[in-house]
């Protein structure tokens, strides 16, 4: 069996898509380093994370992975059942994403009531409604909820788009969004009085990162049959892809060029690197990405991302925000969130899903915990 056929088997099975958890681990690592920079006793200058844009790059990786994975799952369901059950999708997403998130938000609200933290006036409203990406006054503690709002808006829009337009037209729409987004960013940057508060946060200015992952998932069955594409992935010239990707990330000091070209180059570069890692998952890099430590961190990445912002606070001189206490607290809270909230909710979801959706008339039911085995976020 050649590698192209091997890749197709990976995507037609119900097993975990290889390398995705390892890529998530790297993504959350970039965010942690970026936010750790400048914190007390970290000895990492704040400028290190700013100049390299590590946090932004890590979040962008998450977005591309999310678009790729969710689209793959939806298209698989459509191929097997000849339809996409939107209610089932939203049910799964609700029990997967919301319980840990709302537990985090409630904890911060209680912490504010106790005088432990200080939140911005509208933090709670926007966090509870997943609209933080349209609120520029976020406090540090709620600052990262903008990216979770973008993800939730994607979950709401994209499955319905696939159902209404069909696969081909929906993928054309996603590709068109990728092409138009740079113009939207430039238009807002040129006309809005405070463009930095919107560009790169609102869905219309950052959602193309997710759309690139969607397009990759839709095109991949065709791409893996193309000899030229497989040769490109195997070629030593492929090293130019991550080089261009990181170089584009360094353009953040030149905003117009960055918004018009840099964003798209980074998104496409991340998608190509993702596909390379999934395709050659048995190679040396693949073995690292699929090693147990990285897979565990990748599985934990959602809970880590939720809680890291509270303690990796460079603006605080508190002991809880000093290294290495801050990382220890992030680990404790993330592990607690994962084992006390995420996993029980996933088990409850499997039980309720079987009761609500696996009917006898459903000729091709999706197997239990498919999303977990597919490396779902």
Task: Express each pLDDT in 111-153 by its tens digit.
Answer: 999 999 999 999 999 999 999 999 999 999 999 999 999 999 9
Whether residue 253 is contained in a domain is answered as yes
Whether residue 332 is contained in a domain is answered as yes
Report the pLDDT value the prediction gives residue 357, as an integer from 0 to 100: 83
Whether residue 85 is contained in a domain is answered as yes
Residue 250 · residue 176 · CB < 8 Å: no
Whether residue 2 is contained in a domain is answered as no
Q: Is the backbone of residue 347 left (phi > 0), alpha (psi -120 to 50) or beta? A: alpha
Domain of 83, in residue numbers: 8-373
Whether residue 320 is contained in a domain is answered as yes
- Which among 77, 76, 82, 84 is positioned nearest to 12, based on CA atoms? 76
**Bridge partners, 322 (sequence order):** 40
Q: pLDDT tens digits, residue range 240-253?
A: 999 999 888 888 77
Q: How large is the C-alpha radius of gyration of the chain?
A: 20
Total domain count, the chain: 1
Whether residue 273 is contained in a domain is answered as yes
Question: How many whole angstroms from its chain centre is CA 255?
Answer: 23
- The 8-class DSSP code of residue 261 comes to I
User: Which portions of the chain are predicted below pLDDT 70?
Assistant: 1-15, 49, 51, 359-377
- Prediction pTM value: 0.91
Report the pLDDT value the prediction gives residue 359, as an integer from 0 to 100: 59
In angstroms, rounded to a whole number, what is the distance separating the alpha carbons of residues 164 and 136?
33
> Which H or E run includes 168?
helix 167-191
CA dihedral of residues 189, 155, 21, 105 (deg, nearest 10): 80
Whether residue 3 is contained in a domain is answered as no
Residue 194 · residue 167 · CB < 8 Å: no
């Amino acid at each position: 069996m050649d590698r192209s056929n091997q890749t197709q088997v990976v995507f037609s099975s119900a097993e975990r898509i290889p390398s995705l958890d390892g890529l998530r681990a790297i993504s959350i690592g970039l965010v942690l380093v970026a936010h750790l920079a400048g914190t007390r006793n970290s000895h990492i200058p704040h400028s290190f994370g700013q100049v390299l844009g590590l946090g932004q790059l890590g979040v962008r990786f998450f977005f591309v992975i999310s678009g790729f994975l969710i689209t793959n799952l939806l298209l698989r369901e459509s191929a097997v059942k000849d339809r996409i059950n939107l209610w089932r999708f939203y049910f799964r997403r609700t029990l997967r994403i919301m319980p840990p998130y709302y537990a985090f938000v409630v904890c911060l609200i209680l912490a504010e009531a106790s005088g432990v933290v200080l939140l911005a006036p509208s933090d709670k409203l926007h966090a509870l409604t997943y609209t933080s990406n349209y609120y520029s006054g976020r406090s540090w503690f709620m600052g990262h909820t903008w990216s979770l709002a973008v993800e939730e808006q994607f979950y709401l829009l994209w499955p319905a788009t696939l159902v209404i337009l069909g696969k081909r037209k929906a993928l054309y729409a996603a590709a068109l969004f990728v092409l138009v987004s740079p113009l939207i960013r430039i238009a807002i940057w040129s006309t809005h009085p405070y463009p930095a508060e919107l560009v790169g946060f609102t869905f219309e200015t950052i959602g193309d990162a997710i759309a690139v992952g969607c397009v990759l998932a839709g095109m991949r069955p065709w791409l893996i049959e193309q000899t030229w594409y497989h040769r490109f992935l195997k070629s030593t010239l492929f090293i130019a892809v991550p080089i261009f990707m990181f170089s584009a990330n360094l353009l953040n000091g030149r905003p117009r060029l960055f918004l018009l070209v840099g964003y798209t180059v980074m998104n496409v570069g991340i998608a190509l690197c993702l596909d390379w890692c999934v395709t050659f998952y048995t190679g040396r890099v693949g073995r690292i990405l699929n090693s147990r430590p990285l897979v565990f961190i990748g599985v934990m990445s959602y809970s880590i991302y939720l809680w890291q912002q509270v303690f990796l606070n460079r603006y605080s001189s508190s002991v809880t925000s000093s290294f290495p206490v801050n990382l220890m607290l992030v680990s404790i809270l993330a592990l607690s969130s994962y084992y006390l909230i995420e996993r029980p909710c996933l088990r409850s979801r499997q039980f309720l899903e079987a009761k609500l959706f696996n009917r006898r008339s459903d000729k091709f039911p999706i197997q239990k915990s498919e999303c977990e085995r597919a490396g779902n976020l």
